[in-house]
Chain A
Amino acid sequence: MADISLLEAITQALAYEMGVDPNIIVLGEDVAKNGGVFRATLGLLDKFGSERVRDTPLAESMIAGISIGMATQGLKPVAEFQFMGFIYPALDQIINHAARIRNRTRGRLTCPVVFRAPYGCGIRAPEHHSESTEAMFAHTPGLRVVIPSSPARAYGLLLASIRDPDPVIFLEPSRLYRWSKQDVPDDGKALPLDVCFTLRVGTDVTLVAWGAMMKETLAAADALAKEGISAEVIDVATIKPLDIDTILASVEKTGRCVIIHEAPRTCGVGADISAQIAERGLMFLKAPVQRVTGFDTIVPYARLEKFYLPSEQQIIEAVNNVMEFA
């Protein structure tokens, strides 16, 4: 079995599930013949035909709106937005309708749709191709927000998202699309939603991250180990609903917590995690919770974007700070 990238794992999950569930419809801009701008839907048109793999006119609100209509009829649309920065025209449909149809009709109509989008910076793309605004969706009742950080989790979490009976915002870290490969059996086995994954067990400090920042976070944990600091690493994976219990249990053990995210600092998901630790785990803490995040700025264009991204060194410094505190 050849190892596959995160991107190939997305394609593999889509192809697997389309093969077993005829109700799945893939739609979006350039998803059919072109296989998507990142090639995430490559080969699906040939396998499943143009009824089920549909190029749409170029209109994001339309993509979301017709997906909602289709979903209420028992279809399972998996809609692709070309980049997270282009989702915004669809926010009215996602927030006012997809997230609310079940509640509005007291369960009479439902909206099992997956809205996929590549997100995050670091791929030297133009403006609007570098957004990390997951907090916006995490703030919206009725949605799930899922972000994988490895090929295996991309496969298992996308399957779970498609099978979920409610709308899921599935954000794919474009910086990790082709970064590393691993063996991902095409066995149709989903991973659980709504839970964090503990990627590395440790005793001194809890590192909490998701998506593309897992790369720097795991590298920092490796480097810290060489200095004799044992970091527990948690991949949040489902941003909403947030599995705070796993994070709290870890912080109870380590007494220290550093939260890492690429999104801007203010009202980022890290703020909520930090608040919940303060509310429910203050007595576990040996040191203040630290956040290593993107700046409260527009993501700079390609030439400076690496200075926007939290670095491995910043994570190590934050850990050293909390270790020195107590």
Chain B
Amino acid sequence: MEVIARFEVPYYQYLNEESAVVAPLPEFAKDPEQLLHLYRLMVLVRTFDAKAIALQRTGKLGTYPSTRGQEAVFVGMGNALAKTDIYVPYYRDIGTLLQRGVKLSEYLLYWGGDERGNVFSADKDDFPFSVPVGSQPLHAAGIATAFKIRHQKRAVLTVTGDGGSSEGDFYEALNVAGSWQLPVVFVVSNNQWAISVPRSAQTAAQTIAQKAIAAGFSGEQVDGNDVIAVRDRVAAALQKAREKNEPTLLELVCYRHHDHTTADDATRYEPQEIREIEWKKEPVARLRRYLENNKLWTEEQDKKCHEACAAEVEEAVTEYLNTPPQPLESIFDYLYARLPDIYAEQRETLLKKEVPAHG
């Protein structure tokens, strides 16, 4: 017997759970302004998330998938993207999308049951939400194929969950990205739960990152509660994609600190003590401690930051709640570039229906 191949999966972390620096910081993290910017974004996302859950509980929003505990994953990804890159989201991505120009009110509109939440009025190129789990990495590979055919120095970033990494489409996307050397970065936000099924039941693989190896490219595991590590590794992978047409898989290890969605009840399956242990690693407090330890942030500043975020969220909620529903004909009007004549009669039938009360 001889060994014909060996593989490694690196793990990246800069700030550990006590907020101590455990590796030389990347260049951007030496700039306090950049870290403060990431911190403010994470606070905004957490504030928004709590408000969205409250809106759902009071009947003002539909089923909503919380992003609590995954702020570093999405804020870090959004911060690493270049404007000319394309982002292909799943559905907990407010932290990324708000840096792409998507308004908080648009995000609420989507979860409030309005297709215009996918219009992304100031973000023309990014993909809409993808609810069928794990299907969107293929779209990312297709977009990356277009970039490569046109010899554009652009990259595609896409994300799914640990559950999504079990889908066939996920493997098919990795496989073609390796085979065709596509400028795409696949992220798995490993929040440890696919509704009620734990990460340990998804796969016997030691890491999800190692799934890249079978597709012929590198995979890295990253501390997804460390926004510095997320920002750094996603940026490096995107750079590699743009410059060398090399794909990467990044497994961002984090934790889902909420039910799967507001329609779920995690107390049925999730041991409370695990969540308590995981909460000690959560990303917002981790960066705050680091900033405070380094005299870059004070309690007073933090209070003001939370107040400003709350005000921004309130404004978005008001805008969302004051958005009138779409006209009825919108049900038909985006099916085809031009609605075939045969549907005119059905459309007329629709228009004769009583217009529902506002909201």
Contacts and interface: CB of A to CB of B under 8 A. Distances in A.
Interface of A: 25, 51-52, 56-57, 59, 61-62, 64-75, 89, 92-93, 96-97, 101-110, 141-142, 144, 164-166, 194, 241-244
B169 A92 contact: yes
Nearest to B154: A73
Scoring B139, B149, B343 by chain A CB atoms within 10 A of each residue's CB, the highest score goes to B139
B176 A69 contact: no
Contacts of A75: 146, 149
29 contacts: A52-B149, A56-B176, A57-B176, A57-B179, A59-B172, A62-B172, A64-B138, A65-B135, A65-B141, A65-B172, A66-B145, A69-B139, A69-B141, A69-B146, A71-B142, A96-B132, A96-B135, A97-B130, A102-B335, A103-B334, A104-B115, A105-B119, A105-B120, A106-B115, A108-B128, A144-B336, A166-B337, A241-B340, A241-B342
Nearest to A73: B146
B172 A51 contact: no
B335 A106 contact: no
Contacts of A65: 135, 138-139, 141-142, 169, 172-173
B124 A97 contact: no
Contact of A62 (B120, B128, B169, B342): B169
Interface string B120-160: 10001001101010010011111111110100000000000
Given A59-B176, A75-B149, A241-B340, A66 B118 contact: no
Contacts of B128: 101, 104-105, 108-109
Interface of B: 88, 115-116, 118-120, 124, 127-128, 130, 132, 135, 138-147, 149, 168-169, 172-173, 175-176, 179, 330, 334-337, 340-343
Contacts of A102: 334-337
Nearest to B179: A57
Given A68-B139, A241-B340, A242-B342, A108 B146 contact: no
B138 A62 contact: yes
Contacts of B144: 69
Q: Chain B binding site: helix, strand, loop or mixed by DSSP?
A: helix
A103 B140 CA distance: 19
Contact of A92 (B118, B132, B147, B173): B132
A72 B175 contact: no
A68 B138 contact: yes
Given A65-B135, A75-B149, 19 more contacts: A52-B149, A56-B176, A57-B172, A57-B176, A59-B176, A62-B138, A66-B142, A68-B138, A69-B88, A69-B141, A72-B142, A72-B143, A102-B335, A106-B118, A165-B337, A166-B337, A194-B341, A241-B341, A244-B342
Contacts of B132: 92, 96-97
Contacts of A25: 149
Nearest to A144: B336
Contacts of A59: 172, 175-176
Contact of A103 (B115, B130, B146, B340): B115
Contact of B335 (A51, A61, A66, A142): A142
B334 A106 contact: yes
Contacts of A66: 138-139, 141-142, 145, 176
B173 A62 contact: yes
Contacts of B120: 105, 108
A59 B130 CA distance: 21
B83 to A, nearest CB: 16
Contacts of A70: 142-143, 145-146
A277 B124 CA distance: 44
B343 A241 contact: yes
B350 to A, nearest CB: 13
A106 B333 CA distance: 8
B343 A68 contact: no
A108 B334 CA distance: 10
A194 B142 contact: no
Contacts of B336: 102, 142, 144, 165-166
A112 to B, nearest CB: 9
Chain A CB within 10 Å, residue with most, of B120, B138, B173, B340: B138
